[in-house]
Structure 1
Amino acid sequence: MNLKFIKLDSMNTRIVAVSAAMLLTLGSFNILSAQNKPLVIDEVVAVVGGKPVLASDIETQYLQFRMQGNIKGSATETRCTILEGILYNKLLLNQAEVDSITVSDKQVESELDRRIRYFISQIGSKEKLEEYYKKSLFEIKEEFRSIIRDQMRVEMTQNSITKSVKITPSEVRKFFKEMPQDSIPMVNSEFTIGQIVKKPKVGLTEEIAVKEKLRTLRKRIMEGENFSTLAVLYSEDPGSAAKGGEVGLFGRGEL
């Protein structure tokens, strides 16, 4: 009985050992297969006028939408909307090539700086912007420069196409009357709300009190108190109060 028990245990040991060896072999095979599987860095999702639309183009705009709070619906729906817009812009960009529509470097840099300032004002600081994109400000500008150039050319092309188009209200009504009922898109209900606002006149007493308060705050700042702290505590501007009075950067003539 003891011999049989020992023999059976020995067989179990061999079976376990073989099973373990098979698992290790399969595991190694899976690891090697995963290592040999190609890593997709980017891919072409469409081609317009001989120029590709990359998956990274969609993701770049998706990140912009997220930062600006323009995400509506699911991520898939948003990406589809972005792709549709890119295809439309590519068509106009192709027409810009045909019509030799160009934009100067100065115009591009001016618009690029304006957008970067806007992004920084929205996200809080240059450092936060770099952290969000995981790139330096220089790299962000390099990435957006060609995008902005194309967008400006698209806008100029669109304007050149539509500048001579004139449509009267009667033509619009006729167009919709002739459309099949099942082809008319559904439009969400909209409401127009009006309000009557009457601003009270500021009296001399209130004006003096406000000026005195401002003088007091200025004196505290000049004596060494932190400007940002006082801005958070006393500023009535909803946009800059939480940022310590920081309103961002503005170019000449923008204010």
Structure 2
Amino acid sequence: MIKNLKYLLTLSFLVSLFSFNANAQVKKGDLVDGISAVVGNEIILESEVLEQQNYAQQQGAAQTNKCEFMDGILSNKLLIYKAKKDTLIQDRSAAIREQAADKYSQIVSQFPSEKAMLDAYKFRTSYEMKNAIEKMDIDNYYGQQKYALVTEKVNITPNEVTDFYNAYKYQLPQVKDEIVLSKIAMYPKLTEAHKDEIINKLKKIKQDILAGDSFDNKARIYSEDPGSAANGGLYTNINRGKMVKIFEATALNLQEGEISEPVESEFGFHIIQLVKKSGKQYDARHILLKAEPNAEEIATAKAEMEKIKEDIKSGKLTFKEAAFKYSDDKNTKFNAGVMPGEDGSDRLEKANLNATVAYQIAGLNKGDLTDVFVFEEPNQKKAVTIMKVNEVIPMHALDLATDFERIKGFALNKKKGEVLEKWVKEQLPDTFISINNRYKDCNFKEDWSKSAIIK
């Protein structure tokens, strides 16, 4: 069975947030949570095994044997345990803990209230959930760092890729319908009158705060920042260099408690209050009003994009030249507008396309341009967009002639997996591993009994 890096390493770390509190998922009559194994001083809970098993089932995994998941979790816990003792790996635990508060605030912002969020994720308190976030992120960091060190010298030759393909081609997944797209995305420009309207609203909010209203309450009511609005606009323990330049420069030029005049960033318009400054960190509140274009501004941008489209069709500009000259999408404008796929290639799986994009490209062939349309970018900004179809790749079995890089990735991950297995075997004699007796009948891939004390 071929396991890629993503499955091998991250399954036990990156289960959905619902798995933070696995006891909520255990059904009546099931084993109540308890310690299933210990690797060094790393504990594996029964709930962790059950949640990964449930998650794999939800994702359509063919194999969901609990023993297999325990086998994988033991390997990952061994990576984490050894990573924390490895002096070559930087200890970032403190920094990760500081980031947990920001991540928690972002999650809260997606719910009507903090209580609603805690109820949805089955946590009793915010402290409990923040601890869960911290632990997951710390384990993820150490596991990935150690894995990278263990496998850093692994490489693969073209002949090895060919040999791998010949041996496993009937087990490799089939490539689903894919497409290669380029885009030009233009953010509609706000008129000066519209900007003044937003700025004057922020000035009025600032006046109300200076007159005695709470910044915290005003932020909860008016701020359009999903990462901080529910927390009264507050960001804590901000490391210098983390925020956009205009935000940081404004905040650090204030006295503690002082509120800035409205400033414009790529996210919209803000008023900012410096709460506390200490060394290389600071706390700040802000109220963000997004620069949402109105119908007139969108229509102006559409007319400009229609002209660009005509210039491309007439040959006055290539799509690459137009993307570089006009696109506001920094991730694609310097790459001829080509949209990157999840695996780092330029191929996008059709089934995973945004519904708006899927509608626009329906029925188009190689070389065709879409209509001009409005699309909400991942940064939640509305963009007037056109796209070009560069390639249409029908569903097919992986083939060396057309999918060499993808096959190479599978082959490399398999080789890395073999190196990891060898490393695990080498660590067993020097590592305390205790596995609960309920797993005594498991036929583990690794011979954990070489160091395990079965209870």
TM-score (ref. length: structure 1): 0.53
Q: Which runs of 5+ in 1 are unaligned?
A: 1-37, 66-70
Paired position in structure 2 for 1:246: 233
Output the CA distance in 2 between the equivalents of 1:171 and 1:156: 29
Relative contact order (C-alpha < 8 Å, sep 6+): which is higher? Answer: 2
Paired position in structure 2 for 1:160: 149
Assess if the C-alpha contact under 8 Å between 1:92 and 1:157 holds in 2: no
Paired position in structure 1 for 2:33: 42
Q: Does structure 1 residue 57 correspond to structure 2 residue 45?
A: no
Q: Which amino acid aligns with 2:92?
A: Q
Output the CA distance in 1 between the equivalents of 2:45 and 2:108: 26
RMSD: 5.1
Paired position in structure 2 for 1:211: 199
Output the CA distance in 2 between the equivalents of 1:155 and 1:251: 25
Output the CA distance in 2 between the equivalents of 1:98 and 1:233: 47
Q: Which runs of 5+ in 2 are unaligned?
A: 1-28, 244-455
Q: Pick the structure with more strand per residue.
A: 2
Output the CA distance in 2 between the equivalents of 1:81 and 1:123: 34
Larger Rg: 1
Q: Which amino acid aligns with 1:74?
A: Q
Of 96, 102, 116, the residue aligned with 1:111 is 96
**For this pair of structures, how many residues does the alignment match?**
208
Of 105, 120, 124, the residue aligned with 1:134 is 124
| Range that drifts further, 94-103 or 111-120 | 94-103
Q: Which amino acid aligns with 1:220?
A: D
Output the CA distance in 2 between the equivalents of 1:248 and 1:83: 43
Paired position in structure 2 for 1:220: 208
Cα deviation, residue 140, structure 1: 5.4
Output the CA distance in 1 between the equivalents of 2:231 and 2:76: 43
Of 88, 104, 124, the residue aligned with 2:72 is 88
Percent of residue pairs bearing the same amino acid type: 17
- Which deviations, in whole Å up to 9, do the C-alpha atoms of 1:181-203 show, x marking residues without a partner? 42112344444444312234455
Find the residue that maps to 1:133 and give its secondary structure: coil
Cα distance, 1:47–1:61 mapped onto 2, change above 3 Å: same
- Which deviations, in whole Å up to 9, do the C-alpha atoms of 1:165-191 show, x marking residues without a partner? 3346x4685256424442112344444
Find the residue that maps to 2:185 and give its secondary structure: coil
| Range that drifts further, 114-123 or 88-97 | 88-97
Output the CA distance in 1 between the equivalents of 2:204 and 2:214: 14
Output the CA distance in 2 between the equivalents of 1:166 and 1:181: 20
Cα distance, 1:95–1:223 mapped onto 2, change above 3 Å: closer
Cα distance, 1:205–1:133 mapped onto 2, change above 3 Å: closer
Cα deviation, residue 158, structure 1: 0.6
Cα deviation, residue 221, structure 1: 3.3
Cα distance, 1:106–1:60 mapped onto 2, change above 3 Å: farther
Assess if the C-alpha contact under 8 Å between 1:42 and 1:55 holds in 2: yes
Assess if the C-alpha contact under 8 Å between 2:89 and 2:145 holds in 1: no
Output the CA distance in 2 between the equivalents of 1:167 and 1:120: 43
Output the CA distance in 2 between the equivalents of 1:105 and 1:126: 34
Cα distance, 1:250–1:118 mapped onto 2, change above 3 Å: farther
Output the CA distance in 2 between the equivalents of 1:185 and 1:126: 42
Cα deviation, residue 118, structure 1: 1.0
Output the CA distance in 2 between the equivalents of 1:120 and 1:241: 6
Cα deviation, residue 215, structure 1: 1.9
Cα deviation, residue 160, structure 1: 0.5
Paired position in structure 1 for 2:58: 74
Cα distance, 1:249–1:167 mapped onto 2, change above 3 Å: farther
- Which deviations, in whole Å up to 9, do the C-alpha atoms of 1:12-71 show, x marking residues without a partner? xxxxxxxxxxxxxxxxxxxxxxxxxx9943356678899874312236779xx9xxxxx6
Paired position in structure 2 for 1:19: none
Paired position in structure 2 for 1:3: none
- Which deviations, in whole Å up to 9, do the C-alpha atoms of 1:58-114 show, x marking residues without a partner? 36779xx9xxxxx6863996x949986764353144356678526999632331332
Assess if the C-alpha contact under 8 Å between 1:121 and 1:247 holds in 2: no
Output the CA distance in 2 between the equivalents of 1:221 and 1:57: 47
